[in-house]
Amino acid sequence: MATTQDDRLLKIETPLEKDFLLLNKFYATEKLSGLFEISVELLHEEEEEGHEPTDVDIQSILGKGVSITVTQDDGVARNFNGMVNQFSQGNRSTRFTYYSATIVPHVWLLTQKSQSRIFQHKSVQEILEEVFDGFEVVFQIQGDFERRNYCVQYRETDFNFASRLMEEEGFYYYFEHTEGNHKMIIANTPQSHQDNPGKNEIDYQLDMSTEEGFVSVIRDIKAAFKLQTGAIAFRDRNFQLPGNMLSASVQSMHKVGDNHNLEVYEFPGGYARKYDGKDRMGGDNSSGLDGIFPDKDRTLQNTMEALDSQFEVLSGASNCCALTGGYRFNLEKHPKRDRNRQYVLTSVSHRAEQSPTYVSDEDLGESYLNSFSCIPHGAGAPPFRPERVTPKPIVQGSQTAVVVGPAGEEIFTDEFGRIKVQFPWDRQGQVDADSSCWMRVTQSWAGNGWGSMFIPRIGMEVVVDFLEGDPDQPIVGGCVYNPDMIPPYPLPDEKTKSGVKSDSSKGGGGFNEIRFEDKKGEEQVFVHAQKDLDMRIKNDRRELVANDRHTFIQRDKREHIKRDEHKIVERDTYHQYEKKVHTRIMDTYHKLHEKDVTEQNYENVDVAIIKNYTIDVGQKVSIAAGEIVLDASTAVTLKCGGNFIKVHPGGVDIVGSMVKINSGGAAGSASSANLCPVTEPEKALIADNADPGSKSPTYKNQIADRTRFEKMMYGSSPSHNPNSSKNEDKKSWIEIKLEDDEGNPVPGEKYLVTLPDGSTVASGTLDSKGEARVESIDPGNCQITFPDMDGRSWEKK
C-alpha cells in the first residue's frame, strides 16, 4: 500500500501527483520586513527494490507553487505557501529516494531582476505598485505621501529597490499564508498587524508535560533591553530654499543611561531631494516644495521609531506552529504579570520532522518546535519600523548623457539654467522633456544676478556628476565633444586656437565668437558678432595699437562726444569723401596752419558770412580769375598807405599824393596757386573671419573691397530663376516698397535686386503703389537699388 501524508503532522502539496513527494523534515524562517525561506527534505517511495533513484522533472517543480500544512494534535494548524527556487536530488535508500528543496515567496523573483530606471512624479506607493506588478501584494498604507519629483533605481535588484523605499518611508511588510496561496501585506500602522492565525491567545507553560494531552504553548520567553542611540538630528538642503537648513531633531521615548547624549546626526536627511518648485516644463510649482516639511518630520519619526522598537526585544521558544512573522498574539499565564500582554512577532524559526517517521514509523515525541522574537504591541509601545539596512547604490564617478528637450526646441531650460538629459542606461526614456529631472549646471561663477552662464543645448553631450554619489541628485559638470558634436576648430591642425564660439538659435547659420590664436608669431584675439556689438564703459577706455589700425564700416558711422575731442596725428592725414561733406560748428572755430595751405576745387565755392570776414595777410594776396566782381551795399575801399579809392552810393572818392590816369606806373600780376597733388588714402584691411560650425577660413591682411566684405558678412545669398521648376517649392520672397520723404509712394521706378557678389536676382518696375514682390527664392541677403535715382541702397534684414 502506497504511503500517504493524510492525518500526519506534516503535509506538502506539489504540482506532482498526490503523495509523489512526502514531506519528511522542514526548517522555515520568517520575519517582519523580510522574505521567508523554507528548507524541506522530501521523500519519494520507490515501487521496486534497487538503488536507482527516481528523477523528478525540474520543469514540473522548479518555480512552481507548493503548500505545506502543519497540523498539531490540539487542532492548531498552520499553512505555508511559496515557490520552489531550489531543488536537488539526493541518495536512495532501499525504500525512498531523498530530495531537498527551498521554498520562497513569489516576490523573491524580484531579487533576480536587476535594472536601472527612472520614476518621476509618483508617490512611493505608486512606485511600489509598479515594481510589484504581477504579484499578490496588498497595500494598507495610511497617510498622505506626496509624489516624488525624481526617484532612480540604479543597478540594483527590483526587490532591493523596493526594500529601501519601504525602509525610507517606514513601511513594513509580512506574508499572509492560506491554503494554496500567499499574499504580501505592505503597511505602515500598528493596526495593520493581524491576529495570529489559528491561535492568538497562547499560554506560557514552562512544564510541557500534561495529563490532558498535547497543548501548544510558549515554554520560554525572556526580554532583552539595549542601550542605544537616544537622539536623532537631521539637516537637509534644497537649493530652492537656500536660507532654510531644514533641521529636525527628536529624542527617544526611552530615557535610560543618559541615552539622550547619544545622538546620531545625519546630513543630508534625504527628504529635501524629493521635491522641486518647478514643473516638468519649467513652470512655477512652488507648492511642490511644501511636501518637504511633513516628509522631514515623518523621516525623523520613522528613524527614531525604528530604534525605539528595538529597545525591548523578547525572545522565546514554543511548540505552537501558529506563530507567524508580522502577526500579533497575546501571551497569557506568565508568572510575571507585566509580560501578559500583546506582542508582534518580528521573527519565527520553525523546525519540524515527520512523526511517526516514514522510514522507521517511530514516534519522535517533540516533532515541532520554534524559536521567535517579538516586541511589545499596543498602548505605550513604539510601532515597528524597519531599520534602514538596504544600501542605496552609489554612482562611482561621473557619467555622460545627452541634453534633451521638447520637439522643435534647441535650448530647454528653467529660470535656474537647469537642463534635462537622457542617460544611456535609461531604456524607458524617450529622449524628450520627460527623460529626467531638472539638473543644475555647474558654472564658473554664480552670483546674485551676476556670474557666468553657458546653458548646454539639446543634443550636446554633458558630463553628469552626482552629489555624494546619489543617483537621485545629478548635477551637470560640463560638456564633451563627440563625432556628432565636433570642436569649432579643426584638430589637431589648429590646436593652438582656443575660445568660445556659439551658434545662432533657432536654426543656426550664424554665431558669436571670441577666439585666441596662440601660434608663435601669429598670435591673435578675434571677436565675431553675428549682429550687434554693444559696449558700455562707465569710466575711461584706453587703447594702445602698436602698429596699424584698420576699420571698415559697411554703412554709416555715428559718434556723439559730449565734451572735448583731442586728436594728435604725428604724420600725414589722408581723407577721401566720395560724396557730400556736411560740417556744422556751433561755436568758435579756430584753425592754425603752421605751413602752407593749398586747396583745389573743381567746381564752385560759395561762402556766406552773416557778419564780418577778415583776412590778415602778412605779405601778398593774389587772386586770379576770369572775372572779379566786388559788390557792396555801403562802400568798397582800396587803400595803400595814405592813398585810397572809395566807391559808395554817393560817388567815387579818389585820394592820393599823386593821381595818374593813363600815364606812368605798371600793373602787378597775380601769382598762380601753388597746388600740390592729393594723395589718396590707403584702403583698410578687412578683419579675420570665421564661418558657422568648425570651418575657420582666414582673411588676414586682405584689402576690404565691397564684394569680399559682403561675402564675409552675408555668406550664402538668395538665388532666383523664374523659369526654373526647382523654384516652385521655394518659400522665401522679397517685398519692395518705395516712398518719398513725405511718405508718398513712388510708382514706375526701376529696381534691381542683386547679390552681394553683384549678380542680379531680379529686376523690374514698381507698380502704381510703389511696390513690387519677388517670389520663390532662396533665403539669404541681397541688395535693392533704384538705378535711375541717386544710387542709394537698402539692405534687407
Q: Count Cα neighbours of 660 within 13 Å in the Cβ-side half-sphere.
A: 6
Please indicate, yes or no, if residue 128 is contained in any of the structural domains. Answer: yes
- Report residue 459 as a C-alpha cell: 543634443
**CB of 472 closer than 8 Å to CB of 150:** yes
- Report residue 666 as a C-alpha cell: 605798371
In this structure, the answer to whether residues 302 and 323 fall within a common structural domain is no
In this structure, the answer to whether residues 138 and 64 fall within a common structural domain is yes
Residue located via cell numbers 528543496: 101
pLDDT of 200 higher than 60: yes
pLDDT of 797 higher than 50: no
In this structure, the answer to whether residues 374 and 411 fall within a common structural domain is no
In this structure, the answer to whether residues 33 and 173 fall within a common structural domain is yes
What's the confidence (pLDDT) of residue 247? 96
Please indicate, yes or no, if residue 438 is contained in any of the structural domains. Answer: yes
Segment among 54-68, 227-241, 732-746 with least mean pLDDT? 732-746
CATH code of the domain covering residue 734: 2.60.40.10
C-alpha span between 317 and 349 (Å, rounded): 9
Please indicate, yes or no, if residue 552 is contained in any of the structural domains. Answer: no
CB atoms within 10 A of CB 187: 20
Alpha carbon 792 to its chain's center: 50
What's the confidence (pLDDT) of residue 723? 58
700 vs 492, higher pLDDT: 492
Largest CA distance in the chain: 182
**CB of 334 closer than 8 Å to CB of 409:** no
pLDDT of 351 higher than 90: yes
Q: 468 in the Ramachandran plot: left (φ > 0), alpha (ψ -120 to 50) or beta?
A: left
What's the confidence (pLDDT) of residue 687? 76
Domain edge (last residue) among 373, 393, 413: 393
In this structure, the answer to whether residues 42 and 122 fall within a common structural domain is yes
**CB of 335 closer than 8 Å to CB of 203:** no
C-alpha span between 188 and 191 (Å, rounded): 9
C-alpha span between 336 and 2 (Å, rounded): 51
Please indicate, yes or no, if residue 536 is contained in any of the structural domains. Answer: no
DSSP label of 688: P
In this structure, the answer to whether residues 209 and 332 fall within a common structural domain is yes
DSSP-derived 3-state class of residue 173: strand
What's the confidence (pLDDT) of residue 109? 98
Predicted confidence band of residue 712 (pLDDT cuts 50, 70, 90): low
Predicted confidence band of residue 695 (pLDDT cuts 50, 70, 90): low
In this structure, the answer to whether residues 343 and 209 fall within a common structural domain is yes
Domain edge (last residue) among 371, 393, 415: 393
What's the confidence (pLDDT) of residue 482? 96
C-alpha span between 110 and 113 (Å, rounded): 5
717 vs 164, higher pLDDT: 164
126 class by beta-carbon count within 10 Å (0-12 exposed, 13-18 middle, 19+ buried): middle
In this structure, the answer to whether residues 316 and 304 fall within a common structural domain is no
742-767 pLDDT tens trace? 888 999 899 888 876 667 778 889 99
C-alpha span between 514 and 496 (Å, rounded): 14
**Length reported for the chain:** 797
C-alpha span between 449 and 188 (Å, rounded): 46
Tally of helices (H runs) and strands (E runs) in the chain:
5, 37
pLDDT of 1 higher than 50: no
The sign one gets for the Cα dihedral 407, 413, 414, 418 is: positive
What's the confidence (pLDDT) of residue 245? 94
List C-alpha distances in Å: 343 to 194, 201, 375, 440.
11, 11, 5, 49
In this structure, the answer to whether residues 387 and 275 fall within a common structural domain is no
Please indicate, yes or no, if residue 621 is contained in any of the structural domains. Answer: no
pTM: 0.79
**Number of structural domains found in the chain:** 5
In this structure, the answer to whether residues 432 and 304 fall within a common structural domain is no
CATH code of the domain covering residue 401: 2.40.50.230
pLDDT of 729 higher than 70: no
Mean pLDDT over the full length of the chain = 89
Which phi and psi (to 5°) does residue 775 adopt? -100, 165
DSSP-derived 3-state class of residue 163: helix
What's the confidence (pLDDT) of residue 705? 58
C-alpha span between 347 and 372 (Å, rounded): 5
Which element (helix H / strand E) includes 126? helix 124-131
pLDDT of 265 higher than 80: yes
Q: Kindly give, in sequence order, each residue whose CB lies less than 8 Å from that of residue 129, ignoring residues fewer than 6 positions away.
A: 137, 139
What's the confidence (pLDDT) of residue 665? 72
C-alpha span between 194 and 207 (Å, rounded): 29
137-149 pLDDT tens trace? 999 999 999 999 9
Amino acid type, 613? Y
Predicted confidence band of residue 227 (pLDDT cuts 50, 70, 90): very high
Share of the chain above pLDDT 90, in %: 66
Q: Count Cα neighbours of 242 within 13 Å in the Cβ-side half-sphere.
A: 1
- Report residue 161 as a C-alpha cell: 529597490
85-129 pLDDT tens trace? 999 998 888 789 999 999 999 999 999 999 999 999 999 999 999
In this structure, the answer to whether residues 183 and 259 fall within a common structural domain is no
- DSSP assignment string, 79-116: EEEEEEEEEEEEEE-SSEEEEEEEEE-GGGGGGG-EEE
What's the confidence (pLDDT) of residue 713? 53
226 vs 625, higher pLDDT: 226
What's the confidence (pLDDT) of residue 543? 92
In this structure, the answer to whether residues 30 and 144 fall within a common structural domain is yes
141-184 pLDDT tens trace? 999 999 999 999 999 999 999 999 999 999 999 999 999 999 99
pLDDT of 791 higher than 60: no
What's the confidence (pLDDT) of residue 710? 54
According to DSSP H, which parts of 356-484 are helical? none
pLDDT of 708 higher than 80: no
Instruction: Return the closest-CA partner of residue 27 out of 353, 321, 323.
Output: 353
C-alpha span between 161 and 710 (Å, rounded): 63
C-alpha span between 743 and 746 (Å, rounded): 9
pLDDT of 618 higher than 90: no
pLDDT of 332 higher than 70: yes
Mean pLDDT on 207-212:
58
Domain edge (last residue) among 308, 331, 346: 308
List C-alpha distances in Å: 506 to 117, 457, 511, 734.
32, 11, 11, 21
115 vs 597, higher pLDDT: 115
pLDDT of 699 higher than 70: no
Please indicate, yes or no, if residue 286 is contained in any of the structural domains. Answer: yes
C-alpha span between 530 and 690 (Å, rounded): 11
CA dihedral 82, 84, 88, 92 (to 10 degrees): 50
Q: Count Cα neighbours of 523 within 13 Å in the Cβ-side half-sphere.
A: 3
List C-alpha distances in Å: 451 to 10, 447, 537, 757.
75, 5, 18, 43
Please indicate, yes or no, if residue 601 is contained in any of the structural domains. Answer: no
Domain hosting 94: range is: 1-226+310-393
459-478 pLDDT tens trace? 999 999 999 999 999 999 99
Q: Kindly give, in sequence order, each residue whose CB lies less than 8 Å from that of residue 131, ignoring residues fewer than 6 positions away.
A: 110, 158, 161, 162
C-alpha span between 189 and 57 (Å, rounded): 44
What's the confidence (pLDDT) of residue 792? 45
Which phi and psi (to 5°) does residue 307 adopt? -75, -45
Mean pLDDT on 412-432:
97
Q: Kindly give, in sequence order, each residue whose CB lies less than 8 Å from that of residue 541, ignoring residues fewer than 6 positions away.
A: none
Amino acid type, 33? S
What's the confidence (pLDDT) of residue 624? 86
546-567 pLDDT tens trace? 999 999 898 899 999 999 999 9
Predicted confidence band of residue 686 (pLDDT cuts 50, 70, 90): confident
C-alpha span between 504 and 410 (Å, rounded): 10
Please indicate, yes or no, if residue 551 is contained in any of the structural domains. Answer: no
Helix (H), strand (E), coil (C) string for 696-729: CCCCCCCECCHHHHHHHHHCCCCCCCCCCHHHHH
